C-alpha cells in the first residue's frame, strides 16, 4: 500500500514537471513573440514575426554563426540522429536560418543482420527531421561493434570524398558529431569525433566542428527537470524586462547576474562534472518545445520501428538528449 502511494506521488510529480516544461518551453515563448528581436532571421519572415518558431533558440543560434551554412551531421549508426541529435537537427533545419542539413552515417547497423532495414529507416528518419540528403556507408572497415575502434584517417577520407561529391555552394561547412566521450562511451561514437577532427585539420577549406557534449549521469537522465530550469533561466535573461517595464530592453547585458536558477544549476553541475571536463568556453544550448519533442518521438517510433524495444521508451522520456542538446565548438 505504501509502495503504491509512493509510486502515485512520484508519477504526479513527474507529470507536474512535464507540465511546467511545456509552459516554459512552448506557452511562454508564444506569449513573448512581440518582444523578440527578429533581426537574426530573414526579413519578412511570417513565422518569426507571428509565431514562436524562433523565439526559444533563435538568438543563440545566430550568435553562434550556425546560419547560412552547410551542416553535415556525422553519426555512427542508424538512430543516432534521433536518439541524440534531434533537438539540434530540428532547430538548425528551420528554413529562415538558411542552412542546408545533410547527414553521413558510417554504418548500416548490421550487427543483428538488419542492415538493409536500418538503412531504409535512417533515410526515412532523415526526411522526417528535415535533412536534405542522407548517405549510409556500408564498408567492412566500419562494422558496428562495442569493441571496435574505427580508423580516424579512413573516416576523414570518407568525409572528404562525400563533401567533394556534393559540389556544395559557397556556404561554409559546419560538422555536427559526437564528442570525445561519445555520450555512452561507445567506441564507434568516439571514432566519429577523432575522424571529424582529422578531416577538419586536413581540409583546405574552413570547417567548424561542433560536438554534442556528454553530460554527467544525473544530467543525462534528468528528463525534463534540468531543461525546465535552464529554459526558465534563458527566458529570464532574454525577456525578464517584461516584469519591470513595457519597453524592449534586452537583458543579455545582465547575463552575469546570479539568480536562483543559475545558482541551483551551478551547484548541481559541480557535484559530478569533474570526471568529464571543465565547462566549455564556446557552446550553445538548444532546447525543444512540445512540437519538436513530439516530432522527435514520432521519428523514433515510426522512423526506426525495428529498434523500438522497452528500454527505448525509457530513454525517450528520461533522457535529456530527447529535449535538449549542448553543442561545443572544438574546431573553427
pLDDT in tens, 252-269: 334 334 444 454 445 444
pLDDT for position 280: 55
Q: Where does 46-148 have alpha helices with state H?
A: 46-50, 58-63, 80-83, 86-92, 115-129
Tell me the three cell numbers of residue 323.
529535449
Residues with Cβ < 8 Å from 194, sequence gap 6 or more? 152, 155, 180
CATH class of 59-331: alpha beta
CA distances from 296 to 82, 197, 237, 267 (A): 6, 28, 27, 30
Helix%, strand%, coil% for the chain, nearest 5: 55, 15, 30
Question: Are the CB atoms for 101 and 85 separated by under 8 Å?
Answer: no
Q: How does pLDDT run across 159-200, given as a tens digit for each residue?
A: 999 999 987 776 799 999 999 999 999 999 999 999 999 999
pLDDT at 247 over 50: no
Q: How does pLDDT run across 260-308, given as a tens digit for each residue?
A: 445 444 544 444 444 445 555 589 999 999 999 999 999 999 889 888 8
Over the Cα atoms of the chain, what is R_g? Answer: 20
pLDDT at 324 over 90: yes
Q: How does pLDDT run across 11-22, given as a tens digit for each residue?
A: 999 999 999 999
DSSP characters over 223-264: TTHHHHHHHHHHHHHHHGGGGT-SS----GGGTT---HHHHH
Question: Are the CB atoms for 209 and 197 separated by under 8 Å?
Answer: yes
Nearest Cα to 77, choosing from 307, 314, 285?
307
pLDDT for position 5: 85
Percent of the chain with pLDDT over 90: 57
pLDDT for position 39: 59
Average pLDDT value over all residues in the chain: 85
pLDDT for position 151: 96
Strands annotated E in the chain? 69-75, 100-105, 133-136, 172-178, 207-212, 283-287, 324-331
Name the 3-class secondary structure at 131: coil
**How would you classify residue 183: left for phi > 0, otherwise alpha for psi between -120 and 50, otherwise beta?**
left
C-beta atoms surrounding 32 within 10 Å: 15
pTM score? 0.86
How far, in Å, CA of 239 to CA of 28, rounded?
10
Residues with Cβ < 8 Å from 100, sequence gap 6 or more? 69, 70, 71, 132, 168, 169, 171
pLDDT at 244 over 60: no
Axis-axis angle for helices 152-166, 187-202 (nearest 10): 60
pLDDT for position 274: 43
CA distances from 174 to 182, 205, 255 (A): 19, 11, 27
Q: How does pLDDT run across 20-56, given as a tens digit for each residue?
A: 999 999 999 988 877 766 555 555 577 777 788 888 9
pLDDT band at 245 (very low <50, low <70, confident <90, very high): very low
Question: Are the CB atoms for 76 and 45 separated by under 8 Å?
Answer: no
Question: Are the CB atoms for 22 and 290 separated by under 8 Å?
Answer: yes
pLDDT at 113 over 60: yes
pLDDT for position 330: 95
In the 8-state DSSP scheme, what is residue 214?
P
- The residues that bridge with 90 in the sheet, in sequence order, are none
pLDDT band at 242 (very low <50, low <70, confident <90, very high): very low
Amino acid at each position: 500500500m505504501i509502495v503504491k502511494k509512493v509510486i502515485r506521488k512520484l508519477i504526479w510529480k513527474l507529470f507536474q514537471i512535464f507540465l511546467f516544461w511545456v509552459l516554459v518551453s512552448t506557452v511562454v515563448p508564444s506569449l513573448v513573440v512581440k518582444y523578440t528581436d527578429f533581426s537574426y532571421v530573414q526579413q519578412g519572415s511570417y513565422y518569426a514575426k507571428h509565431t514562436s518558431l524562433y523565439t526559444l533558440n533563435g538568438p543563440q543560434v545566430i550568435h553562434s554563426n550556425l546560419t547560412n551554412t552547410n551542416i553535415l551531421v556525422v553519426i555512427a549508426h542508424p538512430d543516432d540522429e534521433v536518439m541524440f541529435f534531434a533537438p539540434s537537427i530540428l532547430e538548425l533545419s528551420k528554413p529562415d536560418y538558411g542552412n542546408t542539413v545533410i547527414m553521413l552515417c558510417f554504418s548500416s547497423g548490421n550487427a543483428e543482420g538488419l542492415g538493409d532495414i536500418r538503412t531504409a529507416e535512417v533515410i526515412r528518419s532523415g526526411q522526417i527531421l528535415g535533412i536534405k540528403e542522407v548517405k549510409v556507408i556500408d564498408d567492412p572497415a566500419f562494422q558496428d561493434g562495442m569493441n571496435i575502434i574505427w580508423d580516424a584517417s579512413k573516416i576523414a577520407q570518407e568525409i572528404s570524398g562525400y563533401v567533394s561529391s556534393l559540389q556544395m555552394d559557397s556556404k561554409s561547412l559546419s560538422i555536427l558529431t559526437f564528442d570525445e566521450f561519445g555520450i555512452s562511451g561507445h567506441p564507434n561514437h568516439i571514432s566519429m569525433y577523432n575522424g571529424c577532427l582529422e578531416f577538419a585539420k586536413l581540409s583546405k577549406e574552413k570547417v567548424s566542428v561542433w560536438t554534442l557534449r556528454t553530460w554527467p549521469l544525473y544530467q543525462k537522465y534528468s528528463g525534463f527537470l534540468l531543461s525546465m530550469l535552464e529554459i526558465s533561466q534563458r527566458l529570464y535573461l532574454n525577456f525578464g524586462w517584461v516584469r519591470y517595464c513595457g519597453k524592449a530592453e534586452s537583458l543579455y547585458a545582465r547575463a552575469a547576474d546570479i539568480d536562483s536558477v543559475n545558482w541551483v544549476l551551478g551547484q548541481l553541475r559541480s557535484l559530478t562534472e569533474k570526471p568529464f571536463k571543465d565547462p566549455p568556453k564556446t557552446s550553445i544550448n538548444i532546447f525543444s518545445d512540445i512540437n519538436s519533442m513530439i516530432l522527435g518521438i514520432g521519428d523514433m517510433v515510426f522512423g526506426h520501428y525495428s529498434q523500438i524495444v522497452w528500454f527505448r521508451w525509457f530513454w525517450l522520456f528520461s533522457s535529456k538528449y530527447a529535449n535538449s542538446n549542448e553543442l561545443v565548438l572544438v574546431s573553427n
